[in-house]
Amino acid sequence: MAIRTIWWVRRDLRVDDNPTLQRALRSDALLPVYVHSPSEEGPWPLGGAQKWWLARSLASHGAALERLGSRLVIVEGEAARVLSDLARAFDAGEVVWSRRFEPTSLAQEARVEEALDRAGIAWSSYLANHLFDPDEIATQTGNPYQVFTPFSRNLRARPAPAQPRGAPAALPPSTGAPKGVAIAALDLEPKPDWAGGLRAMWSPGESAAQERLDRFASGALSAYPTGRDQPSADGSSLMAPHLAFGEIGIRRVWHTAAKSASSPAESTDKFHAELLWREFATHVLVHFKHTDLKPLRAEYGRFPWRDDAAALRAWQRGRTGYPLVDAGMRQLWSTGWMHNRVRMVVASFLVKHLLLPWQDGARWFWDTLVDAELASNSLGWQWAAGCGADAAPYFRIFNPTSQAEKFDADAAYIKRWVPELARVPAKFALEPWDAPPLALASAGVTLGEEYPRPIVDHAKARERALAALAAVSRKGGVAPQPPTEG
């Protein structure tokens, strides 16, 4: 009997090491289907940078499928209805897909399962974009983890992730496939076109993901523990957006790093730890589904956040007067990406210097990051705010100037992204408000004109943040701690 299968393509836009596709290969006819369903995205609809990436990733994946003798069909509508209708029209006996773990994605899958069950159509789903099933990881007492170190220790004690499986040489034909809609009809392109910086930095798609991984494994990985903290250096893997869209399997990334002959064990272990942080973020969101919008630590629901649209706008535009913060925010706007060390600084600045809600930062990152994943975005912002799993304590307040002195002492990163300060001597470019007037004047800079004065005084902002924490502590639930500064 002929087997006809629908592969519901989601964030697994690849043919290499794709467990869902491997299952579908037993079919006599295969219909790869991408369902575009904005109405099911809930409170986190695709951000602008993600839309830009998705358009190109879909095109790349479609071309890869055609080279293998298949075709990607793009349809619009609610997934449960679309897939059950297509299964009947295609005479499919099974629908397969890769699991996602965002709350809205889990709810979407449940609706699809119910619809297929009613129609008498078999279905199966697979773990394709994570190393471990977040539902199968628990503490010795059976509870979900809230601290990374024991979570990581648990995973590292398990057998190594399975070896990746290569791409098939060919795919079953898509005989009888409907035409679908063109990618252009999905309205993913920015209007007006602000994506020039994204195009200059990124090449979405599976082949580009593999090329980037190979470059990293043979280059920057060797110095990863220190190189990843230098924002002006080429020390990051830049794999995050490719992983976010499933253009490369995480098992492929894990084992490629493990096999790098040029990298010491310390470097591989540190990079693997970053992959496990992604696993941890997913684990937390699966078990604490409210943490995309509300703090994990409920007492922080009483935190006295401010409402200051002008300050938020200055932060978004990179006009705070703190060069490292502004460099990071401008890099983000231009490229859809920001160096991880700088992400921590700009996040701390928003929630602690400006006392603006972490949700405001999460929303901005969601709209502007090409690598935005709900679990990691939520965990990162709650970490910065001190209100989430394994969070940095609220009383630890990053000093943007001392962070610049530690990690961008020659101001190379700052001068690249804040060109107003390009001619200012490095030691003054880190804190231009303390520069001699002649040093600024000779560089063509007047504070308050070419470059803004600080929108908040660091010392006063720090005192205000600690006072806000003390106010929450007096209401109960947050233990007062001695202040520290990063």
CA distance 474 to 23: 57
Q: Phi and psi of 333, rounded to 5°?
A: -65, -35
Q: Identify the bridge partners of residue 477 per DSSP, sorted by sequence position.
A: none
Is 354:457 a contact under the CB 8 Å cutoff? no
Is 350 in contact with 316 (CB distance < 8 Å)? no
The angle subtended at Cα 336 by Cα 152 and Cα 364, nearest 5°, is 80
Q: If you search the block for the tokens 């922080």, which residue do you land on? A: 300
Going across the sheet that includes 4-9, the strands are 73-76, 29-36, 4-9, 94-98, 122-126
| Residues contacting residue 56 through CB under 8 Å, at least 6 positions apart | 204, 205
Long-range contacts of 85-92 (CB under 8 A, 24+ apart): 86/6, 86/31, 86/33, 86/178, 87/6, 87/116, 87/119, 87/121, 88/119, 88/121, 89/178, 90/4, 90/6, 90/29, 90/31, 90/176, 90/177, 91/4, 91/176, 92/4, 92/5, 92/6, 92/31, 92/121
Q: What are phi and psi of 126, to 5 degrees?
A: -140, 150
Q: How far apart are CA 116 and CA 141, in angstroms?
A: 36
Tell me the residue type at 180. G
Of the CA atoms within 13 Å of residue 251, those in its CB half-sphere come to: 18
Which helix (H) or strand (E) segment is 430 a member of?
none
What amino acid positions are annotated as catalytic residues?
274, 277, 305, 340, 358, 381
Is 5 in contact with 93 (CB distance < 8 Å)? yes
Write out the H or E segment, with its range, that includes residue 248.
Answer: none
| Among candidate residues 32, 11, 10, the one with its CA nearest the CA of residue 92 | 32
Angle between helices 358-368 and 340-348 (to 10 degrees): 140
Q: Residue 88 to residues 95, 103, 200, 287: CA-CA distances in angstroms?
A: 11, 28, 44, 35
CA distances from 342 to 109, 239, 329, 403, 414 (A): 36, 17, 9, 9, 11
